[in-house]
Structure formats: C-alpha cells, structure tokens
Amino acid sequence: MDKDVIEMDKVVEKLIEIPQEQVEEISKAVAIAKETEADARDFYKKVSQKATDPEMKKAMELLSKEESAHYKALSIVEYKLKEQGKFAVIDEVLISFEKPKIYPGKDVEIKEFQNKSDLAALLWAMRAERKAELFYSKQAEKASVEDIKRFFEELAKFEKGHFDYLDGIVSTITDTGDFILG
C-alpha cells in the first residue's frame, strides 16, 4: 500500500456511503475548495515572507498553516471519493493552531501597518475568507448526508474565524480613536 494512503487512513474516522448522483457534485465542490485553500495558503505564505512586523509574520504563517491543513483534509476527501466513491470523515479535519497575540488592544500604536501593501493584503485576505465561508455554507446547505453537511459547516466556521481574526487586526490598525458619529 502507498505510504501516503497509509498516512491518510490514520486520519480518516470513517467512510460513508453517499448517493451516487451526488458524488460528481461533491467532487466538483471539493476540487474548487482545494484550489481556494491552495491559493489562500500560498498568498498567506508569500505575505508572511515579506512581512517586516514579527506579529504580522506570525499571523500570516498561522493562516497559511490552517489553510494547508484544510487542503490536506480536502485532498483526502477527494482521493477517497475518486477511489471508493465514499466520503471520508476526517477526525483531525481542521487543525486549529494557537493564534499569536497580535494587536490585543486599541491603544497599540502600529506604524508598520501604515504600509499600504500590508493593509491591502489584509483586505484581500478578508474578502477571500468571506467568499470561502459563503462557498462552504452553500455546500453544507446542498448536502443531504449529515456528515458531509457537518464537514462543510466546519470549514465555513473556520473561514469565518479567519475573517473575524483578520477583521480584528484591521480594526486595531485603522482605529484612530477620534471618530465621532453625528
């Protein structure tokens, strides 16, 4: 047996039968999701390599690792769908890494983030995370098998968490403390 297949089988909790007519649609969704996760992983990795601020670097490395974990889980699901026509329920699906303490309060002055490219990267990332969340939510709504629904709901929840995390960073660095409504 292939070494990669043996490694895969270690994280597969169970394989579930899915209606044959749904295999193709789920396979397409998984392929799109893998591409999305790979793009996000590569983007975060590139941003982390260019980051001059150590906390920004850690934040982008964290997101890159999480997107890599999602890509791996989706790759296993894709492989099992192609090989056996079954959906792999992964017990370590969405590994959560410890988030760095990046900009915990509004009183923190962050001159490094006045750099437009950093802010642009954060805004792009937020948009990408929101789109991924909506995609996974839609796939969960379409799923008629509970384990598949839960898998996509978990992915959506992670992407929402990524969005909220990035939004917190942007809120901190863009808060001037003197904005008054009215």
Other residues' Cβ atoms within 10 Å of the Cβ of residue 47: 23
Per-residue tens of pLDDT for the chain, all 182 residues: 455 555 666 778 888 898 888 888 999 999 999 999 999 999 999 989 988 878 788 888 988 988 998 898 899 999 999 988 899 888 665 555 555 555 444 444 444 444 556 778 888 899 999 999 999 999 999 998 899 999 999 999 989 999 998 888 887 777 655 554 44
- The pLDDT assigned to 113 comes to 44
Q: Is there a contact between 163 and 126 (Cβ–Cβ < 8 Å)?
A: yes
Which pLDDT score, from 0 to 100, does residue 91 have?
Answer: 66
Q: What is the spatial distance between Cα 81 and Cα 41, in angstroms, rounded to a whole number?
A: 23
CA atoms within 13 A on the CB side of 50: 12
What's the CA gap between 162 and 174, in Å, rounded?
A: 18
Per-residue buried b or exposed e for 90-111, using 16+ beta carbons within 10 Å of the residue's own CB: beebeeeeeeeebbeeeeeebe
Q: Which residue has the tokens 């839609």?
A: 138
| CA–CA separation, 74 and 38 (whole Å) | 11
- Look up the pTM and report it: 0.75
Q: Are 55 and 103 in contact (CB under 8 A)?
A: yes
Q: How would you label 121-159 residue by residue, b for 16+ Cβ within 10 Å and e otherwise?
A: bbeebbebbbebbebbbebbeebeeeebeebbbbbbebb
Given a contact cutoff of 8 angstroms between Cβ atoms, the answer to whether 90 and 12 are in contact is yes
pLDDT of residue 107: 44
Domains of the chain and CATH, by start: 3-94+106-174 (1.20.1260.10)
